[in-house]
Structure 1
Amino acid sequence: MAAYDPHKTDNLLVCTACGTQFPTADRASLPSCRICDDPRQFTPPAGQSFTTMAEVRRGHKNVFHPSTGGDERLTSIASEPKLAIGQRAVLIRTTAGNILWDCLTLIDEDTITHIKSLGGLRAIVISHPHYYSSHTEWAAAFDCPVYLRAEDREWTVQQSPKQVFWEGNDVQPISIEGNESTALAIRLGGHFPGSQVFLFGGHLLVADTLVTTPAGLGSWATDALGTPRIRPAGMNSFAFMWSIPNMIPLSGEEVFAMWSILKHHDFTSTHGAFVGTDIVAADVKQRVLESMMIQTKFAGWARQEAWESVY
């Protein structure tokens, strides 16, 4: 296999709104971004525009934020200043090798060198098409497979033999050179038909499949005088959205279908799409369920009594 050359893709176009890398340097052949033209996303008021990977590399850097959610095995990576949507990737260190959850547009020599110093990557798993970014280039740089859900294949604008489009069952153990790690990709659907979450060591990495809310991150441990408090009833911790930026919620049926899959898995923390959206709490799974019940109630879901069957 030829050695990876990061400068080979310097001129490839990158959408400035969503960060998707396209397999062309010809601006005339790419009048718009199909990801941003989808109703889940948007084109900014200034209109559609593209940059290049070389320009991204000159203007941004990837910053490593250690100990995501208090576990030294999880490290957040985010591009600074904010690039496109601004999501983070999470480097997960398992006994079988390192896994990258979600992906960033920026990949440069400093990032590659640092990750290789930590053991490299043995697999990449991406939650949904908004974060496909430059995943084919990451897979080439680290010579590893990238797991995508088959329902979302139409959103890939680049193709690579490294792509693994898994389908069928809703749970995919991540296999590293034939040895299954303790990590699971779980298809919940909702935001996209193939939207995934990722379970490792009691941590549920949720990206935008479950949207972490301000109330979910808020603390009611004490009042202004330092007196202990109990979290008020009726507060959600998550929202379940077909489109996050355009504020289009999922239907009650879709939310209930997500729980029918997620209820089989236990976790004590969740980790959202952005740095600082971690919830570590013994009752966080119950808070997911309560958030689903709150959203479907206020959406007027006609089958609200269906939640009684989950207890």
Structure 2
Amino acid sequence: MHTSKNLLICTACGTQFDLPASQPPKGCRICDDPRQFVPPTGQTWTSLSQLRTKDHRNVFTPDPHDPRLTSIHTEPKFGIGQRCILLETSAGNVLWDCIAYLDEETEAFIKGKGGLKAIVISHPHYYTTHLDWAKTFGCPVFVAREDEEWFNRKDGEGCRRFVEGGTAEVLEGVVAIKTGGHFPGSLVLLWEKKLFIADTLVTVPSALYHVDRLPGTTSFAFMWSIPNMIPLPPSELHKMWLALRPFEFESTHGAFNGLDVRDKNVKARVLESMKIQAKNEGWEDVAILKETL
């Protein structure tokens, strides 16, 4: 396993730095950014080797509707607590997003499924230990060019591949779509009408119950800062919609386990949610309110 086991990892966001764990800086530049936060207890650090002595493990959860999808998350919760998702496609396996913890069991599980052809990461909060993952599985990792300022490790082996334009075909039938919004380069991933959204589109609680939905019931939020609850303005919502509009999707798969919305009308619900957000921010004559399917 090609892991940098003694490099510094932020305990709040899981980002790995090109610094030894014995020489921590004052703060984490990811958590100091106004989109994120430093916990009330202050900045603390760890490393992969330290995590392995604290009974952390990754849990593999097959999707009940599609066995080709497996969610992977860490217990006890570490960092933000997001999942990554293994997609077993006919062109090879893709890992959507990344988590900090990587061990021999995870390596064996993924290699037992055929390894990885590519990793795609939605935004800088989930960069975590992505170079270790890429080296372990001998695959490229796709990230948005706009967000490269947030890298905290040098890519000495050329693992990173940049999504330069609005879309990139990662493998045959697997397309990364750059929506922006949360970060300038925020990505989603489309495969077989499944849209993997991380928190580029934030799945809200009212999205999950489909029966007797009253008018005005939203399904998604669109946030500049998720933990600090700062929403995006309608101009950004419109840019995001224009990026998504050409594509068809019938499910969305969010950043955490259980945030899967399966509905043939889910694309309409994305647009509806954008309009609900814009109207409730007080806007009346903006471009997103004039959009239709």
- Please indicate, yes or no, whether the TM-score normalized by the shorter chain is above 0.5: yes
| Aligned 8 A contact 2:238 2:287 in 1 | no
Query: What TM-score do you get using the length of structure 1 for normalisation?
Result: 0.90
Q: Which has the larger radius of gyration?
A: 1
3-state SS of 1:103 partner: coil
Question: Which runs of structure 2 are paired with 1:140-159 in the superposition (5 Å)?
Answer: 140-159=135-154
Q: In the alignment, is residue 174 of structure 1 matched against residue 174 of structure 2?
A: no
**Equivalent residues in 2 for 1:193-212, closer than 5 Å:** 193-212=184-203
Residue 188 of structure 1 is matched in structure 2 by 179
- Give distance in 1, aligned partners of 2:146 and 2:200: 15
The percent identity for this pair of structures is 51
Partner of 2:112: 117
| Aligned residue runs from structure 1 range 55-134, under 5 A | 55-59=50-54, 60-67=56-63, 70-134=65-129
Tell me, in whole angstroms, the C-alpha distance in 2 between the residues paired with 1:188 and 1:108.
32
**Equivalent residue for 1:259?**
241
1:14-34 CA-to-partner distances (Å, cap 9, x unmatched) read 100000011211544522100
Unaligned residue ranges in structure 1 (runs of 5+): 176-180, 221-229
Match for residue 227 of structure 2?
245
1:10 is displaced (CA, Å) by 2.0
Q: Deviations over 1:212-231 (max 9, x none)?
A: 000011343xxxxxxxxx32
Moved over 6 A (4+): none
Task: Find the residue that maps to 2:111 and give its secondary structure.
Answer: helix
CA deviations 1:94-146 (Å, max 9, x no partner) are: 11110000001001111001100000001000000000000000000001000
Partner SS state of residue 242, structure 1: strand
Match of 1:213 among 204, 210, 219: 204
Asked if structure 1 preserves the Cα contact closer than 8 Å seen for 2:7 and 2:18, the reply is: yes
Amino acid at match of 1:287: R
**Aligned equivalent of 2:31, options 23, 26, 36:** 36
Give the distance between the partners of 1:88 and 1:95, measured in 2 at CA. Answer: 22
Q: For 1:155-166, list aligned pairs within 5 A.
A: 155-160=150-155, 161-166=158-163
Are the aligned partners of 2:131 and 2:159 in contact in 1 as well (CA < 8 Å)?
Answer: yes
TM-score, length-scaled by structure 2: 0.96
The CA deviation string for residues 40-93 of structure 1, in whole angstroms up to 9 with x for no partner, is: 00000000010111112232101100026x111111000011111000000001
How many aligned positions are there? Answer: 290
Gaps of 5+ in 2: none
Q: CA RMSD in A?
A: 1.3
Secondary structure at the counterpart of residue 287 of structure 1: helix
Q: Is the 8 A contact 1:297 1:304 kept in 2?
A: no
SS for the counterpart of 2:67 is coil
Which residue in 1 is equivalent to 2:8? 13
